[in-house]
């Protein structure tokens, strides 16, 4: 307990009826039963996980739940972005119904953002909504996808085009779990973490420039960086739960990033989400500079930091044949941030000074991309 008190952080997300806590610290997977049973009345749970994470943490979680009197079943899905599909959604719903999960029972997502997004969607539609607990195990999921209530799956038309808003009842971000995450995935999550600095926390960005090695190494700086990120996301979500205005800032780097993911066929060997975001954020800074909205020095500074942690920062860093401008524009057109044909972009006036521009002419985007790609 003293250990817990020393290191555990709690971020409360005050969403009225849908308020919830995010606990951040070591050992939370083992203690999940206790944290869940004080908050959720049902005595049944169904865990959704993927093959990688399941092999590492499913048993520990099941044992902990059982010790606290919660009867748990589980389903283990293939790892990777392709699991966010109608096919797997159908399978998960079937599992929850077979397990007779009722409204006050818990559906638990144990894994990265893929498992969190898919499971949150299933939990939001089975019996028109059952209780939902996120146990994010990737850095990206801990600082981003597990907070805020967006859930969904991909279709052939693009990413996250089908889903619901479904706030979790509890988020348990176990910092120990990150020890088994690959370097590459950790870096990808770091891109989202750095994003909060680039949006509106210049001091946090500067702190990261100094402390990033400690964040990568683990320990108190890592927990601190995760907590700052969760708080930053929670603040935006509370101000704008359904993404009509300010929440769009969280998409910094994402219009380009999603387009790159689409144009590379969601092939994680080539590009994972956070890497697309890293490149996308640099592009957003460069595009802003090109439109004379920001200094090129800020774009250079953003790129330098992301590069120093080992992230890709240019389209040319992606292995394989570069996407064409046409492919990227097609993907941008299908992105959710299109209103009445006009393009909405998150642009910036500099580090920590991002803003929503909803009148970006697509001709400018095309010209910029043509330059970048030399096409």
Residues that bind a second copy (CB under 8 A): 42, 86, 89-90, 93-94, 97-98, 100, 102-104, 121, 124-129, 150, 152, 155-158, 161-165, 334, 336, 338-340
The Cα–Cα gap between 274 and 191 comes to: 6
| Binding of ligand NAD by 27 (CB under 6 A) | no
User: Which listed residue (187, 273, 285, 372) is catalytic?
Assistant: 273
Q: Of 9, 150, 285, 337, which one is the catalytic site residue? A: 150
DSSP 14: -
Name which of a second copy, ligand NAD, none residue 342 binds, using a CB cut-off of 5 to 8 Å depending on partner kind.
Answer: none
Q: Give 354's strand partners.
A: 348
Least distance in Å: CB of 89 to a second copy? Answer: 8
Cross-strand partners of 272: none
Annotated ligand binding at 117? The verdict is: yes
- Token pair 């941030």: residue: 337
User: How far is 375 from 367, CA to CA, in rounded Å?
Assistant: 10
Q: Which of 236, 130, 112 lies closest to 121, judged by CA? A: 130
Q: Among a second copy, ligand NAD, none, what binds residue 112 when CB lies within 5 to 8 Å by partner kind?
A: ligand NAD
Query: Rounded to the nearest whole angstrom, what is the least distance from the CB of residue 27 to ligand NAD in the complex?
Result: 14
**Shortest distance (Å) from residue 101 CB to a second copy:** 11
Contact 4, 27 (CB under 8 A): yes
Phi, psi angles (nearest 5°) of residue 161: -85, -10
Is the separation of the CB atoms in 7 and 220 below 8 Å?
yes
Give yes or no: 305 in active site: no
124 makes contact, choosing from a second copy, ligand NAD, none, with CB < 5 to 8 Å by partner type, with: a second copy
Q: Which residues of 228-242 are buried (b: 16+ CB within 10 A; e: fewer)?
A: bbbbbbbebbbeebe
Residue 254 bears catalytic tag? yes
**Neighbouring-strand partners of residue 48:** 75, 109
Pairwise CA distance, residues 252 & 255, whole Å:
8
Which residue lies nearer to a second copy by CB, 103 or 367?
103
Residue 161 near which of ligand NAD, a second copy, none (CB within 5-8 Å, type-dependent):
a second copy
Considering the candidates 192, 275, 286, 303, report the single residue annotated as catalytic. 192
CA of 139: how far to CAs of 101, 192, 275, in Å?
29, 9, 13
Nearer residue to a second copy within complex by CB, 6 or 128: 128
Residue 249 neighbours by CB distance under 10 Å: 19
Copy the structure tokens of residue 45: 């749970």
Is 150 one of the annotated active-site residues of the chain?
yes
Catalytic site residues? 128, 150, 192, 233, 243, 247, 251, 254, 258, 273
Give binding residues for NAD(+) as ranges. 113-117, 137-138, 150, 159
Q: Which residues fall in the annotated binding site for Zn(2+)?
A: 192, 254, 273
Give contact residues for ligand NAD (rule: CB under 6 A).
50, 52-53, 56, 79-81, 84, 111-115, 117, 137-138, 140-141, 144-145, 148, 150, 159-160, 177-178, 180-181, 185, 188, 272-274
């Amino acid at each position: 307990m003293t250990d817990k008190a020393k290191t555990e952080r709690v971020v409360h997300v005050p969403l009225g009826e849908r308020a919830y806590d995010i606990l951040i610290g070591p050992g939370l997977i083992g203690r999940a039963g206790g944290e869940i049973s004080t908050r959720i009345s049902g005595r049944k749970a169904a865990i959704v996980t993927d093959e990688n994470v399941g092999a590492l943490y499913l048993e520990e979680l099941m044992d902990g739940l059982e010790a606290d009197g919660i009867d748990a079943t589980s389903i283990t899905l293939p790892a990777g972005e392709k699991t966010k599909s109608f096919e797997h959604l159908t399978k998960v719903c079937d599992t929850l119904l077979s397990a007779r999960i009722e409204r006050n029972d818990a559906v638990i997502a144990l894994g990265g953002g893929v498992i969190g997004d898919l499971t949150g969607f299933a939990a939001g539609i089975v019996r028109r909504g059952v209780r939902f607990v996120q146990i994010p195990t990737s850095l990206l999921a801990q600082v981003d996808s597990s907070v805020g209530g967006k859930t969904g799956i991909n279709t052939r038309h693009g990413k996250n085009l089908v889903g619901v808003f479904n706030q979790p009842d509890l988020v348990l971000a176990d910092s120990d779990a990150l020890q088994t995450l690959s370097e590459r995935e950790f870096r990808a999550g770091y891109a989202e973490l750095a994003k909060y600095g680039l949006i509106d926390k210049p001091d946090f960005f500067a702190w990261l420039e100094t402390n990033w090695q400690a964040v990568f190494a683990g320990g108190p700086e890592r927990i601190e960086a995760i907590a700052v990120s969760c708080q930053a996301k929670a603040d935006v979500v509370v101000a704008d739960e359904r993404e009509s205005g300010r929440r769009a800032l969280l998409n910094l780097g994402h219009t380009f990033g999603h387009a790159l993911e689409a144009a590379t066929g969601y092939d994680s060997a080539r590009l994972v989400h956070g890497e697309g975001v890293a490149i996308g954020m640099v592009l957003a800074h460069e595009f802003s500079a090109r439109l004379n909205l920001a200094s090129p020095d800020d774009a250079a500074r953003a790129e330098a930091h992301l590069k120093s942690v080992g992230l890709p920062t240019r389209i040319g860093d992606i292995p394989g044949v570069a996407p064409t401008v046409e492919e990227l524009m097609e993907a941008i057109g299908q992105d959710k941030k299109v209103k009445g044909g006009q393009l909405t972009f998150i642009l910036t006036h500099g580090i920590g000074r991002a803003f929503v521009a909803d009148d970006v002419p697509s001709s400018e985007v095309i010209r910029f991309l043509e330059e970048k790609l030399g096409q």
